């Protein structure tokens, strides 16, 4: 797993085969190894390297990345392995799970893509 995380951080994983479940799995593994802020920095860096390598840096989405990592971190207590974690949290395999907190227009906004935005119930604007 450490070698795979290293390849991920270097942007060397082929995005064509990197599915949503893989995002969740590597986020889980990153959070097992590092405090949240360091994991978020490393995970975002890996995604940015990957999207830049394929010439699509605009594909990176800051709010989705940070929000999913926060959900994983919040729920991972008591789970040593990914199989048990995902069995207890199958909703994380649904890409639309964030819509429970974010309306689609806020999540798809250019601002949400480039910086983390709070869900509307928590936002001051």
In tens, the pLDDT along 65-76 reads: 999 999 999 999
Please give the structure tokens belonging to residue 43: 């995970």
Is residue 99 very low, low, confident or very high in pLDDT (cuts 50, 70, 90)?
A: very high
Please give the structure tokens belonging to residue 73: 């971190």
Q: DSSP assignment of 33-52, as one string?
A: HS-HHHHHHHHHHHHHHHHH
Could you identify the residue written with the tokens 């889980």?
Answer: 28
> Any idea where the domains of the chain sit in the sequence?
2-114
Pair 42, 9: CB distance under 8 Å: yes
pLDDT at 77: 92
In tens, the pLDDT along 7-45 reads: 998 888 888 889 999 999 999 999 999 999 999 999 999
Task: For residues 79 and 65, give the distance between their C-alpha atoms in angstroms, rounded to a whole number.
Answer: 21
| pTM to 2 decimal places | 0.91
């Amino acid at each position: 797993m450490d070698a795979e995380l290293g390849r991920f951080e270097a942007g060397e994983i082929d995005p064509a085969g990197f599915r949503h479940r893989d995002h969740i799995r590597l986020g889980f593994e990153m959070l097992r190894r590092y405090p949240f802020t360091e994991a978020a920095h490393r995970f975002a860096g890996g995604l940015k390297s990957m999207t830049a390598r394929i010439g699509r840096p605009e594909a990176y989405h800051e709010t989705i990345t940070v929000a999913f990592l926060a959900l994983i971190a919040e729920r991972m207590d008591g789970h040593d392995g990914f199989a048990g974690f995902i069995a207890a949290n199958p909703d994380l395999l649904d890409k639309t799970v964030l819509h429970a907190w974010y309306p689609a227009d806020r999540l798809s906004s250019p601002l949400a893509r480039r910086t983390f935005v709070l869900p509307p119930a928590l936002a001051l604007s």
